[in-house]
Amino acid sequence: MSKNKELISKIGLRLDGRRADELRRIRCKMGVFAQPDGSAYIEQGLTKVLAAVYGPHQVKNRQKAQHDTCIINTQFSMAVFSTNERKKRPRGDRKSTEMSLHLQQALAAVIETDLYPWSQIDVYVEVLHADGGIYPACVNAATLAIIDAGIPIKEYVCACTATLANNEIPMLDISHQEEVLGGATLTVAALPMSGKIVLMEMSQRFHLDHLPKVLNKALEGCKDIKVILDEAVKNHVAEMGSSTGWANSRT
């Protein structure tokens, strides 16, 4: 665990100059594309993800249609140039299938699926640049895209990663460099308003004593992200609204 010690310097700064509980800069935009029903772009540090939502629409494969709920269909894909080493295929490998599934599970927790029986919602995410925390960025982007599409959700679903630095300090929003150097990474997808955890995944062995600390940190991160996303949504809606002139109408 000697490597771990270098993750935070004596004066409490991380490799990229952040403090332990700081997120990377998040920049996002909704409504990037015209053709999908909803789309969003998010940058968390250098990690960049595009998400597009189509639907709700008729179920493509009729046999899969459900009479009481809608199907959430997700596809995770990584651009071949998104990593340092060029990838051979953008999708179809085990990791991306797993990612699609996890994304689907996180979204199923918040979307009001019972409002759309016999229908299907497609959520596609495309990673343009991978620099750690791919899954959280995908979840956050997908949340924004779903809001952009106007699909009712129970609340935001946000995701964040956390780890333990120097065996004592919990650390938030891990970059790729820290992932490589550090130990176990905890990925949490949560509903920050109700404080419920939707999905939790651990990359390595981890002492149970440390779990509460790290988990709390990750949940705090989710809450911080929610604030940022919320603001982005409000700005977007205000922008869209003002362009249609709703703020000025007095009727």
29 touching another protein, by CB under 8 A = yes
User: Among residues 90, 199, 201, 206, which is the contact residue for another protein, using CB under 8 A?
Assistant: 90
Under rule CB under 8 A, residue 46 binds another protein: yes
Q: Which helix (H) or strand (E) holds 140?
A: helix 134-148
Q: Which one-letter DSSP state was computed for residue 114?
A: G
Least distance to another protein from the beta carbon of 54, Å? 5
Helix, strand, or coil (residue 164):
strand
Among 4, 21, 66, 129, binds another protein (CB under 8 A): 129
Nearer to another protein, 47 or 113 (CB): 47
Euclidean distance between CA atoms 116 and 119, whole angstroms: 6
* Among 7, 8, 23, 52, contact with another protein (rule: CB under 8 A): 52
Contact region with another protein (CB under 8 A), list: 23-31, 194-202, 203-211, 212-220: 23-31
Among 148, 142, 109, 134, which residue's Cα sits nearest to residue 45?
134
Query: 5, 19, 25, 27: which one contacts another protein (CB under 8 A)?
Result: 27
Q: Print burial letters for 143-181: b (CB count within 10 Å at least 16), e (below 16).
A: bbbbbbbebeeeebbbbbbbbbbeeebbbbbbbbebbeb
User: 38-44 and 47-58: which strand pairing?
Assistant: antiparallel
* Among 6, 58, 81, 202, contact with another protein (rule: CB under 8 A): 81
Residue 43 near residue 94, CB atoms below 8 Å: no
Contact flag: residue 119 with another protein (CB under 8 A): no
CB of 189 to another protein, least distance (A): 21
Q: Residue 251, interface with another protein (CB under 8 A)?
A: no
Backbone φ and ψ of 45, nearest 5°: 60, -125
Least distance in angstroms from the C-beta of 21 to another protein: 26
Applying CB under 8 A, which of residues 18, 24, 38, 122 lies at the interface with another protein? 122
Q: Tell the smallest beta-carbon distance from residue 146 to another protein (Å).
A: 14
Residues 5, 19, 25, 60: which binds another protein (CB under 8 A)?
60
Q: What is the DSSP letter of 82?
A: S
